[in-house]
Amino acid sequence: MIIVISGPSGVGKSTIIKNIKKDTSLYFCISSTTRIKRPEEEHGVDYNFVSEEIFTELISSNLLVEHEEYGGHRYGTTKDEINKEADYAAIILDLEVNGALNILKSYKNSVGIFVDINNEILKDRLVNRGNSDELFIKTRLELAKEQREYIHLFKYHVLNNDLDITVKQINDIIYNGIL
């Protein structure tokens, strides 16, 4: 089973995933990205941080099952990561909406969970990440609006207004609804 957690940037996907009940039946896929590592992130745990050259090689060698450019950086899931599905009851991916839709379309055993928040909270989170440029914020909010148009393609929809409640809801989806 492939569980895809998606939604606009800044809705809390990574934080939610860090708080999901962990057991040996789940594997949390590690995406590759060309973006710079944030201080709280760890290479090989949060992402595989790679250069543009290495990312291009992953594409040209057909080693990615999906890849997208988002916010000026490239993100992708390697075949090695998705193939770990055979060893677990479920694997969990944290993907931008286009990448998520590619996986949901390509893998019949995949289930999508769309995480969202209202625009005011989203704007606050983007600013708290150090993004104070008004054009950047406006662009991200417009992109979030576009991404919400695909919400109907996800089996589940969760509003992340309260982290504890959201994590409980997603744990319930995974452990009571999917596994």
User: Could you give the domains of the chain?
Assistant: 2-178 (3.40.50.300)
Tens-digit pLDDT string for the chain (179 aa): 999 999 998 899 989 998 998 888 999 999 999 999 988 899 999 899 999 999 999 999 999 999 999 878 999 999 999 999 999 999 999 998 999 999 999 999 999 999 999 888 888 888 887 777 888 889 889 999 999 999 999 999 999 989 999 999 999 999 987 65
pLDDT at residue 2 in the model? 96
State the pLDDT at residue 179.
59
Distance of CA 177 to the CA centre of its chain: 20
What's this model's pTM, rounded to 2 decimal places? 0.89
Query: Residue 21 burial (CB < 10 Å; 0-12/13-18/19+)?
Result: exposed
Please name which of 76, 100, 97, 121 lies closest in space to residue 3, comparing C-alpha atoms: 100
